[in-house]
């Protein structure tokens, strides 16, 4: 399965979610986007973003201050 990586480390809310939303538009349904962020607010932001848009937050983790979010693009309505 295809996975695209988006590095938004150093950017603050709302930029990580806005850039992820733009990147997701370029992906096909079912493809994955891995977002790397350093903003602590991104945890709540990406949970809310996925809940509101229908994309699946497949996994998230934090290591050495870097958050990693794996988002699967929703199927077309």
pLDDT for the residue 39: 97
Residue 76 has pLDDT above 90, yes or no: no
Any catalytic annotation for residue 13? yes
Average pLDDT across the chain, whole number:
96
pLDDT for the residue 74: 96
Q: What does DSSP assign to residue 76?
A: P
Q: Which is catalytic among the residues 13, 18, 23, 36?
A: 13
- Residue 1's pLDDT band, with cuts at 50, 70 and 90, is low
CA distance 60 to 48: 13
Pairing relationship of beta strands 3-7 and 32-37 according to DSSP bridges: parallel
pLDDT tens string 16-45: 999 999 999 999 999 999 999 999 999 999
Domains in the chain, CATH or no CATH each: 3-72 (3.30.110.40)
Q: Which residues contact 36 (CB under 8 A, 6 or more apart)?
A: 5, 6, 7, 8, 9, 66, 67, 68
The model's pTM is: 0.94
């Amino acid at each position: 399965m295809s996975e695209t990586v988006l590095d938004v480390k150093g950017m603050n809310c709302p930029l990580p979610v806005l850039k992820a939303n733009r990147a997701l538009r370029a992906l096909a349904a079912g493809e994955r986007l891995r977002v790397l962020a350093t903003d602590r607010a991104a945890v709540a932001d990406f949970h809310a973003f996925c809940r509101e848009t229908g994309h699946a937050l497949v996994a998230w983790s934090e290591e050495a201050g870097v958050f990693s979010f794996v988002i699967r693009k929703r199927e077309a309505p």
